[in-house]
Structures are given as C-alpha cells and as structure tokens.
Structure 1
Amino acid sequence: MRKLSNFINYFFTGMGFGAIAYLIILTFAFPGVPTSPLGVISVFIISGLIGILSMIFAMDIPLAMAFGVHLLGTLLLVLIMIWINKWPVNFWLIGVFVLVYIVVWLIVILSQTQTVKEINSSIKKRNSKK
C-alpha cells in the first residue's frame, strides 16, 4: 500500500509541475492560443508519468546515472506529448524544454533545502529542551 501511495504522490506532483509549466508557456509564449482537451489531458498524463519517473532518485543507483535516465526519459515523454498533440518540433521548443527542466530542478532543490532547514531547526529545538 505504501508503494501505491508513493506512486500517487509522485504522479500528482508531476502533474502539478507539468500543468504550471504548460500554463506559463501558453500564457507568455503563445498568448491567445486556446488549450485543447487533448492538450490538457496529455499534459496531465505525461507530467504524471514524469513525476513517477522521478522515483528513480529514491533508488540506490549513482546520482549521475539517475539524472541521465531521468533527463532522457523526460525528453522522450515530452516528445511523445508533442507527437500526440501534433505540435511543431523546432529549436525553440527544445530550448523551452531545457529551460523548464532547469527551472523545475531549481524549484525542487530549493524546496528540499528549505525542508532540510526546517527539520534541522526542529531537531535543534528538541535537543535544546533536553
């Protein structure tokens, strides 16, 4: 049951990142372009799958290997989404992919750093009360 809970958590986290990225790209890169049901559904599903792919970082494999697999897997899933939606593939789109990938990683790193600081602070408070 715990494993299913992890899958669901990673899936919905991925969906959140993907939906935000999709809306930001539509808003600033393609203002006035309407969304389509297929576009929205594919973004949710592919983003969720990218979230599940992120579970590779919890495995006991070298970080560089996990990062490489995640990057290539994410690129493959994004290319599948592009193909499903019949979006054009060009250098600009690859640049957007790289930019979004980096921004998402920065957000994840900052979030994890904040979580570690909060945990360390709680531990220090608990230890100082003893």
Structure 2
Amino acid sequence: MFEDAEEAELRKHLSGVPLLNRLRVVERLRNQRIGTALVRAAEQVVRERGHAQLALGIGLDNADAERLYLRLGFAEWPHGLVDTYYMVFKDEREVREPELCRILVKELNQEMPLKRD
C-alpha cells in the first residue's frame, strides 16, 4: 500500500512509507521460500518507486511471520503496539475486526544480495 495508513500512529511516524499488507502463503506451501520471494519482490517494487523504507504490521500471535520478517532484516519500531483492524465478511457484509499489531520497518537503502540455494 503506497497511501498513508488510516491509523494515526502510522501516519505520524511512517508518513510516506509503503506498507506491506496481508501477505499470506497457503499453509501447505509454507517453508518453501515463497514468503521470502514475495517479500523481496515487494521490496524491489518499493525501491523502484523511490522509497527507502518498507513497513508492516503483524498480529501478536503470528510468531512464524515475525521470524520471517526479522530474518529478512525488518526491525520492530520504537513506538509500541498499534491498534489496527482487518476486514472479514460476516452475514454477507464486510466488518472491521480489531487487531493489536507489532510494527516492523526495514531500511531499503542498500540492495540485499540474493541468496542462492
């Protein structure tokens, strides 16, 4: 997402910083470096558009995602947790569900070399 976030804390501290939202790999395809490839592709697009940072939020119960992002060079921001939301369908309508998130940010100033297997 290249627009500023709806959450005031994110607008204040990450104005103009693209946000990676809702990246998911189907469970049966996890641990095959698909998530890594998707994140690196997103980073490349962000760099090509002239941005030096990329941010994302992860739910507090998503330890697997946190490990992935930390391994890829993201770091927790110093401004604490953020109350945010995600959209779900209930009774055939879209509803906002609250979610407390940990915010991670990555500096993209330098190209990360591609890791060859």
Higher strand fraction: Structure 1 or Structure 2? 2
Higher helix fraction: Structure 1 or Structure 2? 1
